[in-house]
Amino acid sequence: MMGYIPMISCFLTNEMRLFIGLFLAAKVMDFFPERKILLLSAAGGALVTALQMAGLPMFSVLAVELLVITGIVWYCLRDKLNICLFLIFFYEVGVGLWDFLLQAGLGIMFRRENFINPNAIEYLAGIWLVRLLMLIGVIILVKQDKQKRTLRALSVLVILGMFGAVTLSEQTILPLNEDQVGTWIILSIILLFAILFYRVNQQREMEAEIAKLKQEQAEIVERDYQALRRTYADNAKLYHDLHNHIEAIYQCLMQGDTGEAVRYCQDLRTPVQEISQNIWTGDKAIDYLIGSKMALAGQAEIKTNVNIEYPHNTNIRSVDLTTILGNLLDNGLEAAKTAPEEFRFLNLTIRRINAMLIIKVENGYGNMPVQKNGRLMTSKKDKAFHGWGLKSVQTAADRYDGTISTDYKDHVFRSVVALSFQPVKTE
């Protein structure tokens, strides 16, 4: 039966192990655990401690702990069970490796076997030292926004663990079980290959995502190109038939039917208005894009407001700005179509603030935006080909150290993109 001090220590170290494991999984796989998930994690730590106090073999206790963390992570990422099992299993192996390394290291430093004896109080010293180091690592990782740095830090720890296990096999100060040391060396090598495999897999997924983004951008360009062709075709037909229209109006006026002439002129104004473009930025492609989206909004009886102050001669590429504006305006149009009458609007604002270009799209919405793990999800049924809009925007914004922020409240959705630009001198 455990004493109170080992019992409390066991409970706290198990809780820390579970919470830190959950944090690392969330950091690496980029999701946000809810409050109830944290409560389940605490309950899992209590269960693991109870099993350990009941005298179950350590292997069984670790298996239960692995299942607890895997279940929690799988709850957050139901479509990635395999990768959840992979990450958590090797997390448990890594923590066990460093527990063993620091227990043996303290035993060698103080020349006492109690540090590797599970029945001695000194045995807890190595475990607590590992937990404190893990806690410090978590605090450092919290300040790091990039996933790559987390993976790099884990890779360094695995390499150091492998060298530590090999070093222990050569020491003669502390009598260690050769089979145990050999097992940890093998596990550390497997752990190293697992990290490499995971990084290669992440790179493959990233390349696949980039390919999908490029496909999405190509579809947007093709769609706008076809719309432009239709517009110019209408323009050509209008001018081709211009003499016929003039003759029809002339005959109406000659016969004194001014009402019919007015109605005829109103019918002619529609294609003229559709093909005419306002000059907002000076870039023909961007001006056409804005004009076509506003025309679509008008056809859907959505109120629009465009307010643009665009700097000339910047290093922002037309294709990137088209990607950003096209996706934001498309999303705004789709949402505004479902909005109640008083919220059927779409506003576009572009402003220059020093060396920053701020793009803001505001629109009404009817159906509440869907979020999963802190990310906006597409409401369209065909999720394989939709939901890439904001990802395309992020990819384009990243080229200019850009940021994207979204918020929604009281039937108003707001997207803001901030881009850093450099003025380009022209001769």
Indicate if 49 and 188 belong to the same structural domain.
yes
Q: What is the pLDDT of residues 322-365, one digit of tens each?
A: 888 888 998 899 889 888 888 899 999 999 888 889 999 999 98
Indicate if 50 and 114 belong to the same structural domain.
yes
Indicate if 313 and 372 belong to the same structural domain.
yes
Residue 68 has pLDDT above 60, yes or no: yes
Indicate if 145 and 261 belong to the same structural domain.
no
CATH number of the domain at 383, please: 3.30.565.10
Domain boundary pick from 194, 212, 230: 212
Average pLDDT for 162-169: 85
Indicate if 64 and 129 belong to the same structural domain.
yes
Does residue 89 form part of some domain? yes
> Residue 382: which pLDDT band, with cuts at 50, 70 and 90?
very low
- The pLDDT assigned to 384 comes to 33
Does residue 64 form part of some domain? yes
> Residue 65: which pLDDT band, with cuts at 50, 70 and 90?
confident
- The pLDDT assigned to 148 comes to 64
Indicate if 306 and 165 belong to the same structural domain.
no
Please name the residue that has the structure tokens 């150290």: 401
Average pLDDT over the chain, rounded to an integer:
76
Residues 6 or more apart whose CB falls under 8 angstroms from that of 323 comprise: 217, 220, 392, 393, 395, 396
**H or E element at residue 65:** helix 58-76
115 or 347, greater pLDDT: 347
Does residue 134 form part of some domain? yes
- The pLDDT assigned to 1 comes to 41
Domain boundary pick from 195, 212, 229: 212
Backbone angles phi, psi at 356, to 5 degrees: -120, 140
Does residue 385 form part of some domain? yes
Residue 392 has pLDDT above 70, yes or no: yes
427 or 12, greater pLDDT: 12
CA-based nearest residue to 181, from 118, 105, 110: 105
Indicate if 25 and 167 belong to the same structural domain.
yes
Indicate if 157 and 291 belong to the same structural domain.
no
Domains of the chain: total: 3
Indicate if 308 and 161 belong to the same structural domain.
no
Residue 312 has pLDDT above 70, yes or no: yes
The answer to whether 61 and 51 have CB atoms below 8 angstroms apart is yes
- The pLDDT assigned to 340 comes to 87
Indicate if 284 and 272 belong to the same structural domain.
no
- The pLDDT assigned to 381 comes to 43
404 or 368, greater pLDDT: 404
Q: N- to C-terminal Cα distance for the chain?
A: 85
Does residue 228 form part of some domain? no
Q: How far lies 13's CA from each of 7, 55, 376, in Å?
A: 10, 17, 36
Does residue 222 form part of some domain? no
Its domain, for residue 254, covers: 241-276
Q: 3-class DSSP state for residue 131?
A: helix
Domain boundary pick from 261, 276, 291: 276
Indicate if 320 and 379 belong to the same structural domain.
yes
Does residue 233 form part of some domain? no
- The pLDDT assigned to 380 comes to 47
Residue 130 has pLDDT above 90, yes or no: no
Does residue 319 form part of some domain? yes
Indicate if 319 and 404 belong to the same structural domain.
yes
